Structure 1
């Protein structure tokens, strides 16, 4: 084999997988985006449902304590904590 044919095979072996991935993303990308949006909406609804359930029982101090514990454990972010805390305090 000559150097040119080896270089040609090398380019072919490297570019074909990238071309395949590129074609796949173009063909299926819209569906992937839709699934990601649905997943994000489902996660948001589950979080809101959890906050409603948590905020619906006990005193404000107990609810704030539970929220702080969730934040400290890393179960919810600071922004989610602030949002839930505002709901508890305004309820």
Structure 2
């Protein structure tokens, strides 16, 4: 008897956690969809609150195909924006830093020793 109670609790825990994953996926998809009006988004959220399982099931059946497309588009957008933001964070490349230091050396702003120090920092 005790074993079956534990097994039953585990089953319900898995069902509840699965529902939470579906709920968060639906809410994320709602706010990701640009074609859906704000009022329709609010209606879906209200129904998710008051009739959660039925609304989640209807949403997955009615808009499930679009969820995959919007998810793929969001992943592609994130992948495209990642290199640009990394380039901004990285700043100049080592060759750019060496070229800038070389220009300073030729202008007489820094000495040869300072140029060698900047070059070694850029290559490190």
TM-score of the pair, normalised by structure 2: 0.34
Structure 1 or 2, whichever has the larger Rg, is: 2
